[in-house]
Amino acid sequence: MEKKKVVVVGGGIAGIQASLDLADRGFEVHLVEKSPSIGGHMAQLDKTFPTNDCSMCILSPKMISCADHDNIVLHTYSELEAVEGAAPSFKVAIREKARYIDVDRCTACGDCVAKCPVKVPSEFEEGLTIRKAIYIPFPQAVPMKMTIDKDQCRKLTEDKCGVCKKVCQAEAVDYEQEDDIIELDAAAIVVANGFDMMDASTMPQYGFGVCKDVVTSLQLERILSASGPTSGHLQRPSDGNEPKKLGFVQCVGSRDTRTHSYCSSVCCMYATKEAILAREHAPDVQITIFYMDMRATGKGFQEFVSRAKDSYDVRYVRTRPAMIQSANGESGVLMSYETRGLAGEPVTEELDLLVLCPALVPAKDNYSLTKILGTELDADGFFVTPKLAYPTDTTVYGVLVCGFASGPIDIPDSVSQASAVAARAAEIIEGGRA
């Protein structure tokens, strides 16, 4: 009997877990990921709260299982093009974008990367280092195949260069490659396209993009990662020195009616995690977390905060910064804030490195995806889940949602939701309750 198909949109931890569970149940899963590799944001993280387990040690085996599973077809560098019909017989079109690489030939030898003259900021390293126009986004990428960035490649933009094709002994480079459209019938669709981080430079009072030593929390994840741009050494961008005073600012654009009024949910805990890790990497550094309210509501979370205070000497200051600017020209940061609960005295503090925790916002494709799927978004831009009894259902029967696409959520809850989605999809496809 032909296997029923399920399309999963987004290859972060939520989409990966949903795909594995669905595939184990015997469905043929088509996992559609828009970037060149599956993995999502979890691949960028050093460790995960509240246990501080190595992020890649958990994620990487799941990524490999996805690639190896007989019931999973990976469509990386791909997007949902069109959807027609209704559950359990959606007609789905997937656009597989041209990589300009024959993936059956590419051995990931890297000869092309060494010769490519074009350098652009690496998205995976949050702009802290560069990649080439021909690239694999990170060392554990799945699939481990090159992609040519058509907007940066000199051959594809100016008909110059062509070096990668000359050096590729496997004859894998193909500048003539075109997008492919794959059409299939799907019994259910799972949305798992995650989140984006708010551009912190849109709130100039926080100094991001102006002060060299103001970075985002995702940038600090990369700085703390052994595979990151500083090989895990805590260094500030301006001069590469180890900071002596490190600060975190919570709720940058979250819980702020001018920007995003909701709580991004994970920042209090990941800032605490990053503070502990920073202290482990640089035992002399003094760390302060400047916060509005400490939201430590999950299992073991309050204990995690207490551990940061008691065992790692992390200082928590309840405040809202008024102004952040460069300390002395190039390096350091001056932060002005009022201390709440005390006399409300204004304080100006000098820090060597300041980490912003910006709002985590709906993925930018949510609106176009909604147009394709017929689903609805809530006022914040996340997918509406209207049924209390079926919390992974969207407003379209047979279109399910899990992970950050449904609203702010951490990794363990994303995994639980993903498994719930697989069970709910099976119920819908195999004739369960409506």
Ligand X SMILES: Cc1cc2nc3c(=O)[nH]c(=O)nc-3n(C[C@H](O)[C@H](O)[C@H](O)COP(=O)(O)OP(=O)(O)OC[C@H]3O[C@@H](n4cnc5c(N)ncnc54)[C@H](O)[C@@H]3O)c2cc1C
Among 170, 182, 184, 420, binds ligand SF4 (CB under 6 A): 170
Among 23, 92, 98, 101, binds ligand SF4 (CB under 6 A): 101
Tell whether residue 141 is a contact of ligand SF4 (CB under 6 A). Answer: no
Rounded to whole angstroms, the Cα distance separating 304 from 306 reads 5
Nearest-CA neighbor of 383 among 422, 432, 419, 421? 421
Total number of residues binding ligand SF4 (CB under 6 A)? 27
Nearest-CA neighbor of 418 among 5, 6, 7, 22? 22
The entry of ligand X, ligand SF4, none that residue 25 binds, CB within 5 to 8 Å by partner kind: none
| Residue number with CB closer to ligand X (338 or 365) | 365
Of 99-107, 253-261, 301-309, 379-387, the window that binds ligand SF4 (rule: CB under 6 A) is 99-107
Work out how close the CB of 196 gets to ligand X at its nearest, in angstroms, rounded to a whole number.
Answer: 8
| Residue number with CB closer to ligand X (9 or 112) | 9
Write 202-207 long-range contacts (CB < 8 A, 24+): 202/253, 202/259, 203/252, 203/253, 203/259, 205/321, 205/322, 205/323, 205/324, 206/249, 206/252, 206/321, 206/324, 206/356, 207/324, 207/325, 207/326, 207/333, 207/354
Tell whether residue 146 is a contact of ligand SF4 (CB under 6 A). Answer: yes
Residue keyed to tokens 């103001």: 214
Work out how close the CB of 27 gets to ligand SF4 at its nearest, in angstroms, rounded to a whole number.
Answer: 32
Work out how close the CB of 311 gets to ligand SF4 at its nearest, in angstroms, rounded to a whole number.
Answer: 45
Residue 206 phi, psi (nearest 5): -90, -5
Rounded to whole angstroms, the Cα distance separating 286 from 113 reads 40
Residue keyed to tokens 């940066």: 152
- List contacts with ligand X (CB under 6 A): 9-15, 32-35, 40-42, 45, 48-49, 79, 192-195, 197, 217-218, 221, 266, 270, 273, 360, 363, 365, 369, 403-404, 409-412, 414
Work out how close the CB of 87 gets to ligand X at its nearest, in angstroms, rounded to a whole number.
Answer: 20
Contact between residue 252 and residue 203 where contact means Cβ atoms under 8 Å apart:
yes
Which residues touch 21 (CB under 8 Å, ≥6 apart)?
Answer: 418, 419, 421, 422, 423
Rounded to whole angstroms, the Cα distance separating 277 from 221 reads 10
The entry of ligand X, ligand SF4, none that residue 110 binds, CB within 5 to 8 Å by partner kind: ligand SF4
Residue keyed to tokens 């029923």: 4
Residue 338: strand, helix, or coil: strand
Work out how close the CB of 270 gets to ligand X at its nearest, in angstroms, rounded to a whole number.
Answer: 4
Would you give the distance in Å from CA 314 to the centre of its chain? 26
Of residues 246 through 265, those in contact with ligand SF4 by CB under 6 A are: none
Among 18, 32, 42, 116, binds ligand SF4 (CB under 6 A): 116
What mask of x and - would describe binding to ligand SF4 in positions 149 to 168, judged by CB under 6 A?
Answer: ----xxx-----xxxx--xx
DSSP state of 409: -
| Residue number with CB closer to ligand X (27 or 404) | 404
Work out how close the CB of 12 gets to ligand X at its nearest, in angstroms, rounded to a whole number.
Answer: 2
Nearest 5 degrees, angle CA 33-CA 383-CA 202? 80
Work out how close the CB of 121 gets to ligand X at its nearest, in angstroms, rounded to a whole number.
Answer: 17
The entry of ligand SF4, ligand X, none that residue 327 binds, CB within 5 to 8 Å by partner kind: none
Distances (CA, A) of 128 to 46, 121, 199, 210, 318: 15, 7, 15, 15, 30
| Residue number with CB closer to ligand X (79 or 149) | 79
Work out how close the CB of 196 gets to ligand SF4 at its nearest, in angstroms, rounded to a whole number.
Answer: 26
The entry of ligand SF4, ligand X, none that residue 319 binds, CB within 5 to 8 Å by partner kind: none
Which residues touch 137 (CB under 8 Å, ≥6 apart)?
Answer: 35, 36, 37, 122, 123, 124, 131, 147
Rounded to whole angstroms, the Cα distance separating 286 from 282 reads 9
Tell whether residue 107 is a contact of ligand SF4 (CB under 6 A). Answer: yes
The entry of ligand SF4, ligand X, none that residue 12 binds, CB within 5 to 8 Å by partner kind: ligand X
Residue 84, judged by CB atoms within 10 A of its CB (0-12, 13-18, 19+), counts as exposed
The entry of ligand X, ligand SF4, none that residue 108 binds, CB within 5 to 8 Å by partner kind: ligand SF4
User: Would you tell me which residues interact with ligand SF4 (CB under 6 A)?
Assistant: 101, 106-112, 115-116, 118, 133-134, 146, 148, 153-155, 161-164, 167-168, 170, 172-173
